[in-house]
Structure formats: structure tokens, C-alpha cells
Amino acid sequence: MNNAFASHYAKSMFLTVLGILILMFIGTRMFTHVDMNLYGYMVGTLVFIGGFFYRFIAWGERPPTKIIIKKGIKLLFRKSTPKTATNHLATYKFIWNRGIYRWTQHLLIGWGVIISCFVTFPLVFSWMYFTMEEGGMYTIVLMGMNIMTVPADGLIAFMSYNALNFSAVMVITGVCMALYRRLKNMQARAEQKFLYDFVPLYLLLFISITGLLLTFINIFLHGAGHYVMSLIHQYSVILTLIYLPFGKLAHIPFRPMSVFAKNYREHYGEKSMKQCKVCGTEFVSTEQSKDVIDVLDQNQLEFNMKDGFNLAELCLPCRRKYRIARFSGVATHEVPVKEANQNAKG
């Protein structure tokens, strides 16, 4: 199978596009129901998938990432995986320790984007659509099967119509909170770059506002200007989809990999911990320390010290002291004084 393709990227793209076409064939009842108004979104999504696989495979080919993915897959069925996945992908509990404000903004942006994707992608590829029946009834069609028939003015229909509006409000609120923090917090301001940190937020804000304007135009302006606004909204979505795999927003689809990393640290940490060669503190698992040394060797990076240990076998405080010792000539790493906590809150 691998010999039929020029690269892992080519194989991944081919199988993904083939899978999408098969699902579209089933969902559209042999392509008899394709919404051409969503054609632009479909093209943008395919370009996003291509960019995502390019970025993911390039990242996955790095020696450290290979180790995490390979061992993470083996540990995927740990008993703690559901809890870890919930904390990292659903509740964002790991951000809670940074403050309720930051947790709230991440929750709103994250779930706002996820909900919009869950609604948009099935519609774009015609995996889900609605048909109008007589008497003001809507039939919800999923993967070519009639799921249910609901009143056009009922609660289910209302929630379906406005799902993207709800997600847009969530994203706008979260983005405004993030922008406020980045403009007011001095530490955040010192670390920000306009193109990398602010532009992605502005894109999300623009998409959400133009999406809400479409609803406003249809309800209050009786459709006046709908065509122009729909094009503006569509172009903004396509531009963001094309940009997404290559900018800061890429951490959204990459986020599931954090579950692999968490399982890796917990599993091998339970087996045995590595003691620092200087102070004796247990700082990482023995397996992780070994993997770090192996990766350094693969990249031809020599960190074996004359003192008889590898630099990766020192905890972070002793590693910093040892580097100072190399420049100063004083064995500062052997001084039995612990560092103060340098993990600033915020």
C-alpha cells in the first residue's frame, strides 16, 4: 500500500478525500442532494484538510513526536484516558489553575468553534440536511436517512436554525475576553505578536459577526443585502480555513495529542522515576529521560558531560545551575540550595 504513494502525506490525503467522497455519496443519496450554495465552503474545507495533514505529518515525523504518538497509541486504552480526554478536550480543567477568567475565555472559544464545526461540516458535505414537508414540518436527513420530522416552529427546529448563532455569540464573547486580557495584561502584552496572536482572533471575530449579520438581515431587513453579506462571510470562512493549519489556531485540531502526552507521562511515571544526578530529586520518568537522550543522539546533539552524566539527567534547577557553572567556573550546581518557585501565575 505504501509503495503506491509518493509519501505519507500523499497517502493520507488520498485516503481522506476518498473517505469524504464515499460519505458524501451515501449522505447525498448518490449525489442527488448537493447544496451548491455551500460549494465554496467545501473547497475551503478540502484545502484545510490538505494543509492540516501537511502540518501534522511534518510535525509527526520529528523524533520526539514519533515517540509520543507511537507510545501514546499503545496507552490509549488506559483506565484514566476518558478522564484525561474530558479534562483536556471538554472541560479544559488544566486551564482552571491559571484563573477563572482565562478558563472561561478558552471554554467559550473552544466550544464555540467545535459546535460550529459540528454543524457546518455535515451541512457542507451534505451529510445532513433538511427537507420541507407539507403543513410546516421539517424532516431532518442524516447520512441519507430520515431521522425525524419536527414542526418548523418547534424547539428542535429553533435550536437547529440557531446553532451557529449560539456558537457565534460564544466565540465573540471569548475572543473579546482574550483581546481585553492581551491588551491590558502587561505580561501578555510583552509576549504577543500581531500577526501570530491577534490576527487569528480577529478572523474568528469577523466570521462570527458576519454570520450573525446574515441572521439579522434575514429577520429584520427581509433579506436585503443577503447576497453580498453571504459572500463576505463565505470568503472570511474560506480564508480562515486555509490559514488555520499554518497559524496559532492549529492547536485546536492538534489538541487531542495532549491526551497521548498525558498518558505517556502518567504511565511511565507510575513505573519508575528518574532521580537527578546532582540533587537526587525525582523529576521525570526513567523512560522519558531515556527517550530524551535517544532523541538527542538521533539529532547528533552531544550532551554527555565530563562529570559522567548527560545533561538530560539533571532536573531543571540543577541544569540551570550547571550551565552557570560552565560559564563561571564555580560548581554552583553542587550548592544544596533549592530555587524559589518561578511559575508565575497568570
pLDDT for the residue 176: 95
Confidence label for 106 from pLDDT (cuts 50, 70 and 90)? very high
Flag whether pLDDT at 327 surpasses 80: no
- Report all structural domains of the chain as residue ranges with CATH numbers, in order of start: 2-258 (1.20.950), 272-334 (no CATH)
Confidence label for 100 from pLDDT (cuts 50, 70 and 90)? very high
Mean pLDDT of 151-160: 85
Flag whether pLDDT at 118 surpasses 60: yes
Dihedral-angle region of residue 43 (phi above 0 means left; psi in -120 to 50 means alpha; beta otherwise): alpha
Measured distance CA(295)–CA(301) in Å, rounded: 9
Mean pLDDT of 163-190: 90
Flag whether pLDDT at 337 surpasses 70: no
Mean pLDDT of 74-92: 91
Flag whether pLDDT at 214 surpasses 60: yes
Q: What is the pLDDT of residues 259-317, one digit of tens each?
A: 999 999 999 999 999 988 888 888 889 998 899 888 888 877 778 777 778 888 888 88
Least confident of 86-95, 123-132, 170-179, 232-241: 123-132
Mean pLDDT of the residues in the chain: 85
Flag whether pLDDT at 145 surpasses 60: yes
**CA triple 204-207-210, angle to 5 deg:** 145
Mean pLDDT of 48-76: 87
pLDDT for the residue 334: 66
Confidence label for 346 from pLDDT (cuts 50, 70 and 90)? very low
Confidence label for 104 from pLDDT (cuts 50, 70 and 90)? very high
Under 8 Å between Cβ of 290 and 271: no
Pull the grid cell for residue 15.
Answer: 485516503
Measured distance CA(159)–CA(166) in Å, rounded: 9
Flag whether pLDDT at 29 surpasses 80: no
Mean pLDDT of 192-211: 91
Measured distance CA(333)–CA(251) in Å, rounded: 36
Q: What is the pLDDT of residues 282-291, one digit of tens each?
A: 888 999 889 9
Flag whether pLDDT at 340 surpasses 50: yes
Pull the grid cell for residue 316.
Answer: 531543571
More confidently predicted of 108 and 137? 108
HEC readout, the chain: CHHHCCCHHHHHHHHHHHHHHHHHHHHCCCCCCCCHHHHHHHHHHHHHHHHHHHHHHHHHCCHHHHHHHHHHHHCCCCCCHHHHHHHHHHCCHHHHCCCHHHHHHHHHHHHHHHHHHHHHHHHHCCCEEEEEECCCEEEEEECCEEEEEEECCCHHHHHHHCHHHHHHHHHHHHHHHHHHHHHHCHHHHHHCCHHHHHHHHHHHHHHHHHHHHHHHHHHHCCCCCHHHHHHHHHHHHHHHHHHHHHCHHHHHHHCCHHHHHHHHHHHHHHHCEEECCCCCCEEEEHHHHHHHHHHHHHCCCCCECCCCCEHHHCCHHHHHHHHHHHHHCCCHHHCCCCCCCCCCCC
Dihedral-angle region of residue 99 (phi above 0 means left; psi in -120 to 50 means alpha; beta otherwise): left
- Cβ of 145: how many Cβ atoms within 10 Å? 10
Flag whether pLDDT at 228 surpasses 90: yes
pLDDT for the residue 345: 46
More confidently predicted of 338 and 321? 321
Measured distance CA(136)–CA(130) in Å, rounded: 12
pLDDT for the residue 38: 81
pLDDT for the residue 326: 72
Mean pLDDT of 200-209: 94
What pTM was estimated for this model as a whole?
0.81
pLDDT for the residue 195: 84
Measured distance CA(75)–CA(94) in Å, rounded: 20
pLDDT for the residue 344: 44
